Chains A and B, each alone.
Chain A
């Protein structure tokens, strides 16, 4: 018969339970002057390990970025750099002007010849401005430009005459 063993076991378990309760409630701890040690804590703090102090930096994920595997050889470099799409295009539409000999593009007026015409036009406009006097004074009349020692025809009598003090240039024919 184990009745005495059973009673011992009960007593021991009751004592253990009492110890655990006192530990849980914290009544076993007695606050008294104790020794405080200044320095790095030897025991690791469990709560600090779970915290992340800094954000995941960019360089942590560098493993996903593209990078060249091999050096590009000079042959490959040359073929890329000398590709026709990057080279300057050769223009085949340049020709000399028939009148003056300066170069011009086929579909564009000659720069030299146009400059001559533009200057003469500007001088004619200066004369017109002097004739009109004030701005916004355009007459309702056709205009005719006459050079030195030129006189208007019969059909030109309704037009206002603009005089230019020079010989008529060869490229400005009357007709």
Chain B
């Protein structure tokens, strides 16, 4: 190919390069996706998790077409290297997300890896997995001043209401 200056400048190019080339990138993503379908929650680097998300959701869209669809089976056969996961994909994951139109995966960032490389990591999971949830719903802390004052006010109102009922009786 022509060795132009344009090859060195990459302004505005959003496609990520992973591994040794485009084929290597697809193989790597295929392995990660197989691991995700098997374990339903995996930890990888941020870039890889972000890339796999697209393919994971597209795979579920294909699986929703059903077992008998030719294209869907070909896709599942290509993307899942461990063939005992194909029944799991069609019989477990596709029915799980039947009511949802789009967002089947959740990605959250994790503190950097402990190794020397300090890689930025992320955890990627399919929603509805059996494992403990990553983020518990935020509950307001009862011990803050405002909440304590509100609690006292509520108790006072309850006492007043109880006293009024006593008077009426």
Contact = CB atoms under 8 A, between A and B. Distances in A.
Contacts of A16: none
B101 interface: no
Nearest to B89: A140
A140 B132 contact: no
A121 B41 contact: yes
B130 A137 contact: no
A138 B82 CA distance: 10
A80 interface: no
A138 B131 contact: no
Contacts of B134: 109, 114, 117
Interface string B123-138: 1000000111111101
A120 interface: yes
Nearest to A119: B132
Contacts of B96: 142
B91 A107 contact: no
A174 B100 CA distance: 21
A53 B39 CA distance: 77
A172 interface: yes
B154 interface: no
Interface residues of B, number: 28
Nearest to A108: B109
A39 B83 CA distance: 96
Given A108-B110, A136-B82, A136-B84, A162 B130 contact: yes
B65 interface: no
Interface residues on A, range: 20 to 34
A82 to B, nearest CB: 27
A123 B23 CA distance: 35
B158 interface: no
B111 interface: yes
Interface string A138-153: 1111111100000000
A123 to B, nearest CB: 10
B147 to A, nearest CB: 13
A171 B132 contact: yes
A109 B108 contact: yes
B88 A138 contact: yes
Contacts of B84: 136-138
A160 to B, nearest CB: 9
Contacts of B138: 98
A51 interface: no
Nearest to A141: B92
B110 A121 contact: no
B130 A124 contact: yes
Nearest to B128: A142
Contact of B131 (A105, A111, A121, A137): A121
B7 to A, nearest CB: 30
Closest 3 CB pairs of A and B: A140-B91, A172-B132, A140-B87
